[in-house]
Structure formats: C-alpha cells, structure tokens
Amino acid sequence: MTNQLESLATYTTIVADTGDFEAISKLQPTDATTNPSLILKATQDERYRPLLTEVIKKHPDANTEELLDHLLVLFGSKILEVVPGRVSTEVDARLSFDSSATVRRARRLTELYKAAGIDTQRVLIKIAATWEGIQAAQQLEQEGIHCNLTLLFSLPQAVACAQANVKLISPFVGRIYDWHKKQAGADWDESAKSGPNDPGVQSVTTIFNYYKKFGISTEIMGASFRNIGQIQALAGCDLLTISPDLLQQLSDNNDPLAQTLDAKQAQSMDIDELTLDEASFRFLLNEDAMATEKLAEGIRNFVADAIKLDKLIESAR
C-alpha cells in the first residue's frame, strides 16, 4: 500500500529539513536543507559532536568564523553522502543587510565545498530574502553559485527573487500560520483555518500560481511546517522541505493524497504582474506587517543561534 510520503513524492520533490543525516538516510528524501538552528541542535547531539572536534583539529589556526564555515561544509558534505540531490548551507544571518559581505561568505563556502571534492551544482547557498540578500544572490547566480532565498513571507519578496533569477526560494508556511494565530487570539478557529484555508498555505499557493502564470523558472520550496495538513494542502509544489518527525507522520499515513497545486491551471488565472525596484520592494514589504515582523524575527533568531555556535566552537578549542 502506498503511503502519503510516497504519494507526495510523485507530485513534489521531498527535502529533509534537518542536520541529522542519520534521519535523512532513514527517510530517503531527494535534497536536504540546514540552517544555524539545525546545525546548533545537531552539534549538541553526542552522535555529531565529533564533527566539531574534527574541524578544530584539522584547522588549528582558523578563527571562529572560519571554523563555523568549515563545520557547515562538513555537515553539508556528510548530508550529500546520503541524499542524491542538493544540500542548502546558510550564510551567517549577521550579514543579512550587507550584500558584499554575503557574496564574499558565499564564495568562501563554495570554495570549501570544492576543496572537499563536492560538485557545487549540488550546493545551494541560503540567504535571507532581504533586499540586500536578494541583490547578493543575483550577483552570485551570475557567477554560477546557486542560491536558496529563505525567510520569505510575501509575494513581493518572491517577485524580487524571480527578477534576480535566483535558483530557489523557501516561502515559510508555519511561521505565517503562527503570526495569524497569535494575532487572532481567542478568535482563532483552527478548523476554519486549516488545509487550503491556512494563511501560510495560501501565501505559498499565491506565489506558486504567480510563478507558473508568468513562466518563472525559480523553484518554490515550501518550508516551516507545523502539521501534515499544511503539507498535504501544498502537494504539487516544486519542492517541500519537511522535518523528520513530519516525514515520519506522512510515511505512517496510508490515506489517499491528491495533488492540490497545478501549474497548468495557474497559467489560465487572471493575475496582475508586479515589477519591483528597491523603493517599491521596501514599501510593499513594510505594508505587510506579518512579513516585516517575521523576517526581522527570523533573522534575530538565526543570529542568536549563530552566536551560540560561535561560543560552542570557542569552548571546544
């Protein structure tokens, strides 16, 4: 009998959202994504702590920033041993508003992957979808370094990424859901806001339909899920990056799963096209309280975990 994970794989490329490559090996996704929070969690796991020791031993003269990049690339390389596709490795979130520094760090990560014998076409550099991050990604794409624009919560961010010809975007579902649920408070109706009515699902659906309507080649990878209902409602999205526990829930579910997003249907939809410059991007993002708040919050959280990783590295030296 076909389970929902197997059914989903016929419509959508499945990506594991974790730094736990043992879990990745078990669930056999196509790709994998990481971020500072996931690497921090994995490094604190006794199974993976030796990787940090290995990095410090191999690079005794490296500073903390350089050791962090070596650690990220080592995790990415290990993940690529168990997935057939790509891994996403994130640039330090502290550089989210500095295009030139983001470009330099992305180049360094790419060179480290090359030095490890990794085909860099199997690597996506993750960058926060700020205006500065998107401009950095545009330059990197022109250099052949493919990017995954993350912390994406709105259509204007998605459109700006498309204009920059980035390889892939990661619109967040669960964090949008979280914001709307918190705003509604006691008035939140979970049953009425589930499945296709979930605000996070609706955001990704809007981006998917826009991209397919206008023939945009940038890949869409739905991310940040709170439950399998959000995943089920996005069957047919280009890619979905899913945590191991939700992957397991899908694997354990044998109910039928139908495709919900359809590129051909989107092509016939009546959708207005957007053209953005920096001023219009910033204005439209500012008009969206949810996107503005969640982008800022996401960067702060990733920065906090990057600082914790720095301290973990320094204490291990």
Query: Active site residue: 41, 57, 114, 126, which one?
Result: 126
pLDDT digits (tens, 9 = 90+) for 246-292: 999 999 999 999 999 999 999 999 999 999 999 999 999 999 999 99
Residue for token digits 């022109």? 142
pLDDT band at 21 (very low <50, low <70, confident <90, very high): confident
Round to the nearest angstrom and report the end-to-end CA distance of the chain: 51
Domain region containing 285 = 4-316
Lowest mean pLDDT among 44-48, 194-198, 211-215, 240-244: 44-48
Mean pLDDT score across all residues of the chain: 95
Cα dihedral sign, 32-229-149-6: positive
pLDDT digits (tens, 9 = 90+) for 81-135: 999 999 999 999 999 999 999 999 999 999 999 999 999 999 999 999 999 999 9
**Best CA proximity match to 226, nearest among 253, 208, 199:** 199
pLDDT digits (tens, 9 = 90+) for 155-179: 999 999 999 999 999 999 999 999 9
Q: Which two tokens stand for residue 280?
A: 């219009």
Structural domain count, the chain? 1
Lowest mean pLDDT among 17-31, 140-154, 205-219: 17-31
Which has the higher per-residue pLDDT, 20 or 80?
A: 80
Q: What CATH number should be reported for the domain holding residue 292?
A: 3.20.20.70
Q: Are 83 and 43 in contact (CB under 8 A)?
A: no
- State what percent of residues in the chain have pLDDT above 90: 87
Instruction: Please give the pLDDT value at position 39.
Output: 86
190: Cα separation from own chain's centroid:
25
**Best CA proximity match to 87, nearest among 123, 54, 61:** 123
Strand pairing of 219-222 and 13-17?
A: unpaired
| Helix 64-80 vs helix 36-43: crossing angle, to nearest 10 | 90
pLDDT band at 316 (very low <50, low <70, confident <90, very high): confident
- Asked if the model's pLDDT at residue 1 lies above 80, the reply is no
Q: Is 167 a catalytic residue?
A: no
